[in-house]
Amino acid sequence: MRQRRGSLLTPGVEDGPPVNPTRVALIGANGHGRWHRRVIGPLHDAGRLRLAALVDPRPIEAEPAAPVPPGTRIFTDHREMLAEVAPEVVVICTPPHTHLRIAGDAVAAGADLLLEKPPVLCSAEHDELEAALSAAGRVAQVGFQALGSAALSALTDAVTAGRLGTVTGIATVAAWQRPDAYYARAPWAGRRLLDGRPVLDGALANPLAHAVMQCLAVAEAVAGRPVVPVGIEVERYRVRPIEVDDTAVLRVRTAHGPPIVAAVTLAGEDFVPGEVIVTGSVGRAVLEYPTDRLSLPGDAAPAEVPGRRGLLENLLAHRADPGVPLIAPLARTAPFTAVLTALQVAPEPTLLGGGLVDPVGTGPQRVLRIRGVNAVLRRAAERGELPSESGVEWAVPPWRVTVESGARGGGSPRRSSQPAAG
């Protein structure tokens, strides 16, 4: 028998495990699914849930930090698992283009969801999943785990309390590096389409989606209401023969509040983990969202704000008491899905090369770096300008979309301009 790893009870819940712990299944147990297994393991050991099943088409990889508990059933087909196990909560960690189908199957089987980001790939899919959840009386939490950060709450509290004055700009900057091996990790990696279905495995849609969502959460606090995108502008670039962006600058104009700018790359010179920059009439705040380091007006230096609420624990608490709000309900992610909808109809990213791009290393771990890209992205975030507006030589005009918004803050492209460039 494995040792208990300590109680992870949600505040307000009576001490001690429930008599009948929630049956949880994980679909997509390998790869990033191992991270979910490390989250589920302590909750299983504490009696908060029972890991009833793991699903993956490949043999289950060993995870020393979260061994598979005795009695956990293993499946290669999620539909077979749903029929035989009838889990109450399903965690879905599969390729993005499979989310809608698997989520629909799980909801029809009576399960609530923890659905990895991006939840779906366009606003029409978002509406379809929302309708399925409503009809079945089920809920979905989306895997934007940084939304559970105490540091983000401290930032939004400062915004609503007026510590920054009138907020005039919200932006994020991040510079990561991804090696050749990253794009060989799966058949859908770096793809726009696979078997005729959208995949959108680009920097904005997948690895740096958290940066975009953090900005949308701040915009929600600034406006005091759900974010409604009305216009999206994006410049997208790539340094490899992939179908999606590895470098992008996005500007979202909203019905209420200042524009949002996201300037990100997977071909950075120096590592920038991810900053959310909020500029106001009397001060500026910077949140390094992966580390929860926050600097507010008047602070001498950034300081870590500890504490994150786990999304799975929050979902369990919501199931026990619907008065406990979900941290990342599907409806809250509708503006993010509106961005993905615009990316679906955007032209192919511009290929950068020649003397602008430096290869570093060899073999599967080779990375490509765009010369000067960190300064370009930093300037975009600081000024709210797209690279083409600030005279960057390799920049191309942006793709622009006017968004026809729905009541939940989502939308679909209504008018676009700027033909494919590069």
Average pLDDT estimate for 19-45? 96
Give dist(CA 18, CA 44) in Å, integer: 11
What are the residue ranges of helices labelled H in 275-372? 311-320, 334-345
Helix (H, G, I), strand (E, B) or coil at 351: strand
DSSP per-residue string spanning 36-92 = HHHHHHHHHHTTSEEEEEEE-SSPPPP-TTSPPPTT-EEES-HHHHHHHH--SEEEE
Phi, psi of 261 (to 5 degrees): -120, 130
Which of 89-93, 94-98, 140-144 comes out lowest in average pLDDT? 94-98
Cα separation, 188 vs 266, whole angstroms: 17
pLDDT tens for each residue of 208-262: 999 999 999 999 999 999 999 999 999 999 999 999 999 999 999 999 999 999 9
| Phi (first) and psi of residue 34, to 5 degrees | -65, -30
- Mean residue pLDDT of the chain comes to 91
The residue behind tokens 């032209």 is 347
pLDDT in tens, 280-327: 999 999 999 999 999 999 999 999 999 999 999 999 999 999 999 999
4 alpha-carbon distance from chain centroid: 31
Q: Which residue has the higher pLDDT, 15 or 331?
A: 331
Mean pLDDT of 91-104: 96
Task: Reply yes or no on whether the pLDDT at 9 is more than 60.
Answer: no
Residue 280 confidence (pLDDT): 97
Whether residue 13 has pLDDT greater than 90: no
DSSP string, 107-146: HHTT-EEEEPSS--SSHHHHHHHHHHHHHHT--EEE--GG
Q: What is the mean pLDDT of residues 396-409?
A: 76
Domains of the chain, CATH where assigned:
22-145 (3.40.50.720), 150-306+330-417 (3.30.360.10)
pLDDT at position 413, please? 53
Q: How confident is the model over 262-279, as pLDDT tens digits? A: 999 999 999 999 999 999
Q: What is the pLDDT of residue 6?
A: 28
Residue 8: its pLDDT value, please?
33
Rounded distance, CA 187 to CA 243, Å?
A: 12
259 near 383, Cβ under 8 Å?
no
pLDDT of 152 > 80? The answer is: yes
Query: In the predicted model, is pLDDT for residue 92 greater than 80?
Result: yes
Band of the pLDDT at 10, cuts 50, 70, 90? very low
Over the Cα atoms of the chain, what is R_g? 21
The burial of 365, by beta-carbon neighbours within 10 Å (0-12 exposed, 13-18 middle, 19 or more buried), is given as exposed
Q: 102-111, 231-240, 285-294, 403-412: which has the minimum mean pLDDT?
A: 403-412
> For residues 337 and 126, what is the distance between their CA atoms, to the nearest angstrom?
7
* Average pLDDT value for residue range 111-128: 96
Q: Is the pLDDT of residue 352 over 90?
A: yes
Contact 231, 371 (CB under 8 A): no
Which DSSP string corresponds to 187-199?
TTTT-SEETTEE-
State yes or no: pLDDT of 125 exceeds 50: yes
What is the predicted pLDDT for the residue at 382?
Answer: 96
Q: Each residue of 292-306: b (16+ CB within 10 Å) or e?
A: bbbbbeeeeebeebe
**pLDDT at 127 > cutoff 90:** yes
pLDDT band at 412 (very low <50, low <70, confident <90, very high): low
Residue 420 has pLDDT above 80, yes or no: no
Q: Is the peptide bond preceding residue 118 cis, with omega within 30 degrees of 0?
A: yes
% residues pLDDT > 90 (the chain): 85
| pLDDT of res. 17 | 59
Q: What is the mean pLDDT of residues 369-373?
A: 98
**What pLDDT was estimated at residue 415?**
45
pLDDT band at 194 (very low <50, low <70, confident <90, very high): confident
Which tokens in the block code for residue 32?
């990033």
Q: Is the pLDDT of residue 21 over 60?
A: yes
Query: What does the alpha-carbon distance between residue 129 and residue 124 come to, in Å, rounded to a whole number?
Result: 9
For residue 159, what are the contacts with CB-CB under 8 A and spacing of at least 6?
Answer: 167, 218, 221, 222, 278, 280, 285
pTM score, two decimals?
A: 0.90
> Given this model, what pLDDT does residue 14 score?
43
